[in-house]
Structure 1
Amino acid sequence: METTEHLLFLCKWTKRVWQDPIFEQIRPNNSINRTDQWLLTAFRRDQNLPARELISLILWNIWKARNNRIFRAKEPQPADLLLIAKEQQYTLSTGRSTKGERALNQNSPTHWRPPEGQNLKLNVDASWRPGDFLCSVAGIARDAAGRVLDGFAATTRVSSAAEAETQAILHGISFLHELKPNHVRDLGSPSGSYFIESAFSLR
């Protein structure tokens, strides 16, 4: 049975991703049974650990590879996944694409643009299938360097695509009220300015 832990860490091809030496200190073992507990360890501010955004991108690309295998019969390529994640991390931190990243995004007309100065940007999205009463909303907050500071995910009841997108934005606003005391002081921003971008996918 597929569990979150099996999908992200214990599947035979997923294990090959985590075998890279960069993950030596946080490499999940066969006894892992709580993804959230593992993330708490992986996201600690330790200079010897990989950057949090790289870990997030690894998990995101594992999820995409899983969907490509199920829905497109495309076999995952563990050796390429870490390279793709590093290219994406470079793009987020510099605003410039490497050759591999441009190829990865050649069909996507939208590119993330960092906020100015010490402002933060929150990107939100929603996923809803016509006929369903539930949708998923999520968002991530990043600074001008593209560093992931925090994020949220939730499930809510909707009846239309427009309502799903609106719920994503409303959840984002609520999330910012909770995020503000945790990060504005660290960033040294007296104004505490935030921007919300919404990208809605109808599936």
Structure 2
Amino acid sequence: MAARPLLISGLRKTIGAGQNTCVWTEPWIPDIDARPPRPAERVTYRDPKLLVHSFIRRDIRDWDTNLLLDYFHPEDIPLILKLRPSNTWSMDGYAWNYTKSGVYSVKSGYARLQKIKMCEAEDQVLQPSITGLQSHEWSIPAPGKMKHFMWQALTGCIATTERLACRHLSTDRSCPRCGDSEETINHLLFECPPALQVWALSDYPSLPGYFPSTSVYQNMNLLFRRKRNVAYMEPLIETFPWILWYIWKARNEKVFNGKEISPGDTLQLASIEAECWRKANLPEDGEEDELQPAPSRVSTLPVNPQCPTCQIDASWVDNGTVSGLGWFYKDQMGVERFGLQGCRKSLSALHAEMEGLIWALFCLREVQCTVIHMETDCSDLVDMIANPTDWPAFASELASFRLLRAGFQDFSIAHIPRARNVRADSLAEARNSGVLFSHIDQIQPDRASLRNASRPTTT
């Protein structure tokens, strides 16, 4: 398979029990690019057969922090602690490191391939690049054929006499409109007298030696980036794609039909066509209100209306050290319970949401709850529960969830708007205290109580 080397280069080992992952030779550290860990300075010999499970305590099924400090580089330890070993001692697996689900996608694979090519270019020469121009022109509001034409102008793919001669398809390089010695793409669009007159009549300011210039790249860049220059007076509509297109059309009328089209007629036709295209692509009255967002890929498990309800949420920031978990429970008799926890920072925001679900189920099981309907404002979490095989990056967490789920006679989960999840959200925000704690109560804590609860670890 041609893509096999690319796929292998982007895989990361997911840690379950750590029993089939070699510490020093396999990529299990969740960095930007998955890699093996770096050793501590005192480590002089790296046993190639040493397994990750040697650093997991069997009594608490969590990392042995003392061993981590002894063996691994200090900068790698926070990355390791973000990984949660499986409570069920499941086998280690593989996940694609460049998507949140761990499933390979063509988009992420292409981005990975481009990055590899950049790294392999050891003798790169710094020089002007037209990649930015080529990328920007596809975002210009204009018909597709005109975007393609501008792309051809930037890449030298327009059939001017000079380009045809370079490809040995012609010997005449002269301009068929003005008789100049060479018809380059820049000459055709910007320097030929009829083209110069079109730009002079347009709303685009002509500055001698600046626009139009002798470089097609500079001219196109000025048209693309013109809004950034406060000295330019912006016309009512951006007509330059049509102007470029009809300059080319007028040139072809001269070459193939012997027909002269004046610069004024060229500009008028370009302006009319641009305005017609704009009007045809404006949303009709009321159309914006009728447009509904595309349905997300969220599956909702069946709901029992008699079930007690538990809303869950998590709080996670990239530069933080603690993740916040919160849940709010209410049964059919009106009995309420609340839980909030500041825990060790998770690998990602979605990992924190999954940990919040697992912790809530654990707490509810401890109070003999066997029927529950969960609600979350994270649609990915609902999809993960409904389609676990689509989320290999969460294999360890899903194994822990399945173990807890088996203790409930009836379980369901649904997605709700964030505005309906404010209680769990406010509880999860307790991670702002920056300390590790756990608190469960039947009375919803106020802000002062949250500060007090975040001091010792209690249940």
Same fold (TM over 0.5): no
Q: Which has the higher contact order (CA 8 A, sep 6+)?
A: 1
If each structure's helix is expressed as a fraction of its own residues, which one has the higher value?
1
Structure 2 length as normaliser, TM-score?
Answer: 0.20
Structure 1 length as normaliser, TM-score?
Answer: 0.42
If each structure's strand is expressed as a fraction of its own residues, which one has the higher value?
1
